[in-house]
Amino acid sequence: MRGPSSGRWEPWLLTATAAAAVLGVLRPDLYADAVDHVVTTLVGHH
């Protein structure tokens, strides 16, 4: 079914990207909170 994987787009990443897109459209407030949480986690602090 699937073509050869290039290794860049793993299935979980596609799922996360799709979920983020849907959340951004349906619930921009939750999307903003999620983005803020991810950025805070990656950076370590504000």
- The predicted-structure confidence for 16-33, as pLDDT tens digits, reads as follows 899 889 988 999 898 899
- Residue 3 in any domain: the answer is no
- The reply to whether 4 falls in a domain is no
d(CA 44, CA 35): 14
**Domain of 26?**
11-43
In a domain, 33, yes or no: yes
Q: With respect to residue 17, please indicate whether it lies within any of the assigned structural domains.
A: yes
Whether 21 maps to a domain, the answer reads yes
- Judge whether 5 lies within some domain: no
Task: Please state, rounded to an integer, the average pLDDT across all residues of the chain.
Answer: 83
Q: What is the pLDDT of residue 31?
A: 87
Residue 31 lies in a domain: yes
Write down the pTM of the prediction: 0.49
Number of domains observed in the structure of the chain: 1
Query: Percent of the chain having pLDDT more than 70?
Result: 76
Phi, psi (degrees; rounded to nearest 5) at 2: -85, 150
Say yes or no to pLDDT of 2 above 60: no
